Structure 1
Amino acid sequence: MQTISIPHRLASFKKMQQNNWKTQILSFISKQKLQPSYEEYLSLNQALQKGDEPMDHLLTWIMKNPKEHRKYFEIALYQGVEQLPHPIPELKQFFDLVETPPTWLDQQKMQNAVQFSNRLGINSGFILRDLSLMIGYLYPGFNQPLILTGALNKQANKRLAETTKWWIDITEPNAFERFNKGFTSTIYVRFIHSLVRYHLAKSEKWDSETWGLPINQYDQAMTNIAFSGVLLLGVRALGIIPDKQEVDSFLHFWKYAGWLMGIDEQWLVNKESEGWKLLYWMTFAHPNPDETSMALGSSLAKEPFDRPYIHFKELNRKLAYRQHLSITQFFLSRKKMQNLGLERQSVAWFAYYLLARNVLLYTGAKHSQKLDALLQKNGRRMQKLGFTLYQGENTQLASMHQ
């Protein structure tokens, strides 16, 4: 009988079959069985030990002559393979792949998703920062690459600014056209992921028996769902109810973003319920929160104290700190707040303010084109303002833009 290699982080198949009143309710709501079949369990196990094969293959070539080959990669990325001094098969093969859109790509849905994203305004930033990111920190498997690459000690505002810059880039109109920033920054981040995977997999500090492969397929897929499915759940809780077309377009957008980032199609979702199932599996693919959860959570919570407010600096910093804590508390239990090293407040006041505000504004926008246009315009402006606050004096972020 063949022995199957399973990282210690993944629970047994038997344990993942557990059934209780919570799983029964979630299965009823999502109209599916949450527990994986044995074939799905094997796929999950494989995904924890699999990287991004096309990019990893290209990186193997880059590392044969890092200085020169990385220069050629960046010429191909930002200027096109036609601008290389001579034909390079490895680069042509990779860029032929990423420049050829999948047959299922729908440009109208992509455009609709960008408009929906912009209209969410500051709500998207709050959900991604205070729910998606904080929840991610509760699962140490996501944190390991940050620890071993030294990013754990990097200022939270810089980490946040780099992620937000990428998100801003891809949510511009026509962002994924070949030489626009959405496309180039996504491929650059994909390259960085592969580079981290290359070095950590060779490092004695990386415990592959516990964690599988660094930045593996499943962890990348769950990060993608944090930007899509978790955000949809979050904005609903804050009073914004997207219609079926908006949900479908938004998930389609993130399916393509994930595809371009190197996630296998089997881990990209078409329906929210598919994402919920993968989220359920996550509790069995990560150990319990540890000291890294607290270190990253408390660091992110204190990020507002580094913001470059112009007026009433100390007051605005303290207010922002409380606002973000309020939103996290609105979604997370007392125990999870403790695991993240977060200070609980008497009431999640700011989240309730946003809920009331959003119900009024977004319900009204369904009946007023002027209000809808105003939300679209002001929403995008507020998103970019949020990036400015995260960026501060870090004008040089990851060198993904030329």
Structure 2
Amino acid sequence: MKKPERYKINTTSFSYYWSKGIGAKLLDKLPNKPNLADADQYIPLLYQYDEACDRLVEHLHLKIGFTKGQQLIRDYLQGKAIESIYDKLISDFMDTLAIEPQWLDWQKVQQGIALSQRSGLTGLIVLRDYCLMGGYESSAINKPLIFTGALKKGAVKRLTETVTFWVDITADQALRKGGIGFEAILLTRCIHSFARLNILKHGDWVTEKWGIPLNMWDMLATNLGFSLVYLIGLKQMKFNLLESEINGIMHLWKYIGSLLGIPLNLLPDTEEEAIKALYYWTMTQKEGDQDSIALAQALMEEPVHAAYPTNKFGRKLMREVHLYYNNYLLGNYSCNLLGLEKTTIGKIAYFNMLKNKKENSQILKDEVRQQQIRKGRKVHEGVKEIYLKYN
């Protein structure tokens, strides 16, 4: 299969990450360094997409409107009566889901959820300043954001949606059928299909350059961002992690990924498999471009344009704090490529890491860990409430 223009050996940010950054230590966990030539097997994934959900969206959302379509799915999941024609459409889609596959281990899922909750404010920082910002280093994966007007809508809106989604899916029992997280995943899957169909129908998308919008390989990369990269970020932030928590996160996101339509054979079971998958994806990414810089700049300025904190000084201080975390987590090389500034005032954020180191010193004690889980969950719910209230 022909390689799209986006597929090329990376010689900038990601190459630096694996040779001189944190990635070098990750590769040490593998018995052998992955052979980049083997990445060619994933090229077809750049043209593969979520056909099952696209069919649903084509005959539902595009016929009656996006808002009405999403509401009908909510009604269906909540057991409410809807018109038979729409009930059949949604039922046919639901039949494609493996809601409780044989490989699913609910105990592992809960361990992953528990770590997510225990991460508290630090987990949200890692997701924002490491996973999300670091993803902008690839020009291709972010092209759908540009085509759907993400810059015009603003980083505040996207961050609000991301935080709400993540907090909802990491609630206790959230992923059980009928749970808030299960619903959030299916609605998000429809958002992906709706975006893809509209980009292809109404935009100037060039498949030969970028592959299909929101293709399966990019979906896998996003999944790795929420699982492996998230774990890497927590470790950098002085978080001690139990082996059961690491395995739990991998299993949690394997299940979430399967519900989002990612083929099961692509989703890693272990940290080592995830490292290999991340290596193949990152090292075949075209470097960031002006759109990458524009998205990074928008996220950098997001605290200033947000409505919380309510005073101007507080918002400017938040900008500096996030800049510190950007530089600390991503490193100078990546921050320079994305046009992210250095900060002096923001260095006060380092005290959070010292706090993490102290609080994580006793996580082997179950009562201490449970207390952190309860405390962290309250923080997540509070942050979600702030985003929804003020933005």
Contact 2:308–2:386, Cα closer than 8 Å, also in 1: yes
Q: TM-score, normalised to structure 1's length?
A: 0.86
CA RMSD, 1 decimal: 2.7
Q: Which residue of 2 aligns with 1:190?
A: 189
Letter in 1 for 2:316: K
Q: Tell me, yes or no, if structure 1 residue 170 matches structure 2 residue 172.
A: no
For structure 2, list consecutive stretches of 5 or more residues without a partner in the other structure. none
Contact 2:112–2:248, Cα closer than 8 Å, also in 1: yes
SS of 1:97's partner is: coil
The percent of aligned pairs where both chains have the same amino acid is: 30
Contact 1:76–1:82, Cα closer than 8 Å, also in 2: no
SS of 1:218's partner is: helix
Letter in 2 for 1:35: N
Query: Residues 388 and 167 of structure 1: is their aligned pair in 2 closer, same or farther, counting only changes over 3 Å?
Result: same
Larger displacement relative to structure 2 (126-135 or 327-336): 327-336
| Aligned equivalent of 2:359, options 338, 358, 361 | 361
Contact 1:119–1:377, Cα closer than 8 Å, also in 2: yes
Question: What CA distance in whole angstroms lies between the structure 2 residues aligned with 1:202 and 1:103?
Answer: 38
CA deviation profile, 1:60-85 (whole Å, cap 9, x unmatched): 3336x711898577434433478333
Query: Residues 123 and 237 of structure 1: is their aligned pair in 2 closer, same or farther, counting only changes over 3 Å?
Result: same
Contact 2:308–2:390, Cα closer than 8 Å, also in 1: no
Question: What CA distance in whole angstroms lies between the structure 1 residues aligned with 2:45 and 2:212?
Answer: 9
Q: Which residue of 2 aligns with 1:386?
A: 383
Map 1:318-337; keep pairs closer than 5 Å.
Answer: 318-337=316-335
Question: What CA distance in whole angstroms lies between the structure 2 residues aligned with 1:360 and 1:328?
Answer: 22
Question: What CA distance in whole angstroms lies between the structure 1 residues aligned with 2:257 and 2:297?
Answer: 29
Question: What CA distance in whole angstroms lies between the structure 2 residues aligned with 1:336 and 1:82?
Answer: 49
SS of 2:225's partner is: helix
Question: What CA distance in whole angstroms lies between the structure 2 residues aligned with 1:178 and 1:161?
Answer: 24
Map 1:124-139; keep pairs closer than 5 Å.
Answer: 124-139=123-138
Map 1:1-400; keep pairs closer than 5 Å.
Answer: 4-11=1-8, 27-36=27-36, 38=38, 40-42=39-41, 44-62=42-60, 66-67=63-64, 71=68, 74-80=71-77, 83-86=81-84, 89-98=88-97, 100-203=99-202, 205-309=204-308, 313-346=311-344, 349-350=347-348, 352-367=350-365, 369=367, 371-394=368-391
Question: What CA distance in whole angstroms lies between the structure 1 residues aligned with 2:145 and 2:128?
Answer: 17
For structure 1, list consecutive stretches of 5 or more residues without a partner in the other structure. 395-402
Larger displacement relative to structure 2 (259-268 or 211-220): 259-268
Q: Number of residues paired by the alignment? A: 381
Contact 1:47–1:218, Cα closer than 8 Å, also in 2: yes
Question: What CA distance in whole angstroms lies between the structure 2 residues aligned with 1:24 and 1:285?
Answer: 17
1:247 Cα deviation from its structure 2 partner: 0.7
Contact 2:123–2:234, Cα closer than 8 Å, also in 1: yes
1:25 Cα deviation from its structure 2 partner: 6.7
Question: What CA distance in whole angstroms lies between the structure 1 residues aligned with 2:151 and 2:309?
Answer: 28
